[in-house]
Structure formats: C-alpha cells, structure tokens
Structure 1
Amino acid sequence: MGDDEEKDAAIKAKEIGPSSIKCPMLNNTNYTVWSIRMKVALKVHKVWETIDPGTKDDDKNNMAIALLFQSIPEALILQVGDLDTSKGVWDAIKARHVGADRVKEARLQTLMAEFDRLKMKETDKIDDFVGKISELSSKSVALGQTIEEPKLVKKFLKSLPRKRYIHIVASLEQVLDLNTTSFEDIVGRLKAYEERISEKVEEEDQTEYNDQGKLMYVNTNSPQYNQDNYGGNRGRGRGGSFQWRGRGRGVRL
C-alpha cells in the first residue's frame, strides 16, 4: 500500500469514528427512542461507563456531559446544569421524563395491560405486528422492566389469527422449545409462512375465477339451456299469442 492509499484509509477511518456520530435531540415525546440512541452514542465515544456503572474519570465524565448537553433542550440544560457528573445528569433527565416511582409503576402497569390485550388483526402483516410488540417491549425496558424473550415468543404466537396461522403455530409448538427459541427465529419462520399462504391465496383466487368463467360458458352452451330457450318460444304465433294445433283448425286463444 502506497502513501496515498494509507492517507485515504486513515481519512476514511476518521470519518466513521466517534466524531461522526450525531447525538439525537430530546423532545417531549421521544424519550424512549432518545435514551436508546444516546446510550449507543455514549458507548461509541467510550464514555458510557461513567453513567453505568458510574466509574470516576474526569475526562470521560466531562465528555459524557458535553454530549448530553448537545442532545437536550436549553430549558432542560438550565435545570440540570449544576450537576457535576454525567450519571447525575442522565438520572435527572430520566426522572423528568419517566417520572417518580409511583408514576413509573402506573405507566408500567398500563403498558403491560396494553401488551396483554395486543392481538394481530386479520389484515395486519407479520412485520406490522412485530413492530407493535417491539415498541411495547422497548418502552417496558425504559421503565425498568425487561420482557423476557420466551414471553415475547409465546405472546407473539398466541396473538396470531387462529384461522390463518393455527396449523403453523401447532407445528412450531410441537417441534420447538419455546423457552429457548429466539424471537427473531420465530418471526422469520412466520414471515416465510406468510409469503407461502399469500401465494396460495392468489393461486386459489385465480383458479376460482377461471372455474367461474368455465361454468358460465358451459351453462350458456348446454343443450338444456338451448332447449329451455327454444321451448319458451315454441308455440308462439304471430303477435306473441299462443296457438293450439290439434286435429281441427287452429284455434286462437
């Protein structure tokens, strides 16, 4: 590798380094997503340890505070600006958005009740329903309670429309240990099944359409159909009146 190539490689490495990571901006409605993204940003800058578990390192602590201050509104900076540790700043931000313990517990109960009621609609796609489960799971983590993966797996399978997925769910419950199967594995299997039944439904719809067309063709060309139409006109005289032809002369009715 020449000098020019080494310089290019060094520039590219610098471009994708910590300095290129932008901090998300916190607002009144995005705390859960903000905390997840901010945690990653602090880890990339190698300063998350000053918050969890809370190690003492002046340089890293100052860097973490600087990053946090870049990601919160000015009004919030004025409220937490006197705190001298990044852990203190993080906890203060969390307390203002998550709430006190009682409020936090109430929110968690409401969230878990919503999780228990969640059902997949007949018109939903697997990806849409998985997104709803993942969103509730992330909010639960932000409130301090992690939903274990076996619970997510069982909730997912239980919430699927029975009419459409009963056969695949029964098969998976027989061949897999749901306590050790990952959520991603189950989702992948159901997505593959969804694709197959979608193709089957399209084929059945097309077959039904073709069968109906053939049936209409057969009915309109059947002898009985032609006989009924012929018989309906036979015996009509001029002017649409019926005539009876017996042994004698025709008598107009």
Structure 2
Amino acid sequence: MKALLGSLKETRSKDKAALYLLYRAVDELGFEKIARASTSKEAWDILAKVYKGADKVKQVRLQTLRGELESMKMNQSEWVSDYITRVQTMVNQLNQNRETLTVVRVVEKILRSLTDSFENVVCAI
C-alpha cells in the first residue's frame, strides 16, 4: 500500500511539474487557455485543439498563395523587372510559410508567364 501511495505521489508530482513547464512554455494567450487545467494532459489537449486550427489556417493560406503564384501573368504594360519583383514577393511569402521553392521552379514560372513579346527570348533560353 505504501508503495502504491508513493508511486501515486510521484506521478502527481511529475504531472504538476509538466503542467508548470507547459505554463512557462506558452505565451500569455496560451496561458489563458490552459490556466484552469488541473493536469498536464488536460492542458496538452487544450493546446493541441488550439494549434490544430492554426495548422488548418496555415494550409489554406499556403493553398491560396500557391494558386496566386500559379495564376500570375505578366501584364502587357509591365516591365520585366517589376514582374520578377512581383513573383519574388509571392515566393518570399511562400517561404515565410515554410514552403520552399527551388530557383529552377521560380525561373520556369517566370519564363512561362511572360508576355508573347518575349516568346523568342524564352525559346532561346
């Protein structure tokens, strides 16, 4: 019986330590969400639900950015340097969301979407 009580106390102590570490690891908003949790498991489950939604939002954001990049085309009145800057801005936004694009893919995108007046240049490249 003593061994069982000792084990229970040790488990509770470890749980309180884990809960304390979770409190310390989150920002103020995260803390407000888990402040009433009585166990580390309860706090962890709350955080998992909160950040699962953030992952879905991030996935939607990435899909939107990918779609915008693929649909980009150079305007007839636009300078090539301005168009490349627009594409690079979009690529940077994707990179900030942890979507890495190779330089080859970016160059291919630019060459595919230049205006018809650059067709000879694209073919030569």
TM-score by length of 2: 0.58
Partner in structure 2 of residue 168 of structure 1: 121
Q: SS of 2:124's equivalent?
A: helix
- What secondary structure does 2:86 align onto? helix
> 1:138, 1:79 → 2: CA distance?
28
Letter paired with 2:123: A
Query: Where in structure 2 are the equivalents of 1:21-40 lying within 5 Å?
Result: none
User: What corresponds to 1:147 in structure 2?
Assistant: 101
- The alpha carbon displacement at 1:126 in A equals 1.2
Q: Does 1:157 align with 2:122?
A: no
Q: Superposition RMSD on alpha carbons, in Å?
A: 2.3
Deviation at 1:123, TM superposition (A): 0.2
Q: 1:114 aligns with which of 68, 76, 83?
A: 68
Gaps of 5+ in 1: 1-76, 82-94, 173-253
Q: Which has the higher helix share?
A: 2
Distance, in Å, in 1 between the alignment partners of 2:70 and 2:82 is: 17
Counterpart amino acid of residue 170 in structure 1: C
Q: Which has the larger radius of gyration?
A: 1
What is the alpha-carbon distance in structure 1 between the residues aligned to residue 78 and residue 62 of structure 2? 26
- Distance, in Å, in 2 between the alignment partners of 1:104 and 1:79 is 19
| Amino acid corresponding to residue 68 of structure 2 in structure 1 | E
SS for the counterpart of 2:70 is: helix
Task: Give the CA deviation at 1:148.
Answer: 1.2
More relative contact order in 1 or in 2 (CA 8 Å, sep 6+)?
A: 2
Q: Deviations over 1:160-204 (max 9, x none)?
A: 001x111111111xxxxxxxxxxxxxxxxxxxxxxxxxxxxxxxx
Match of residue 59 from structure 2: 105
Give identity over the alignment, percent: 26
Q: Distance in 1 between matches of 2:55 and 2:118?
A: 40
1:101-133 deviations in Å (ceiling 9; x for gaps): 111000000110000100001100112111111
1:128: which partner in 2? 82
Rounded to whole Å, the distance in 2 between the matches of 1:100 and 1:154 is: 32
SS at match of 1:145: coil
Regions of 4+ moved over 2 Å: 77-81
Q: Distance in 2 between matches of 1:111 and 1:78?
A: 30
Q: Which residue of 1 aligns with 2:92?
A: 138
Aligned residues: 80
List aligned pairs for 1:224-243, cutoff 5 A.
none
Distance in 1, matches of 2:119 and 2:84, equals: 18
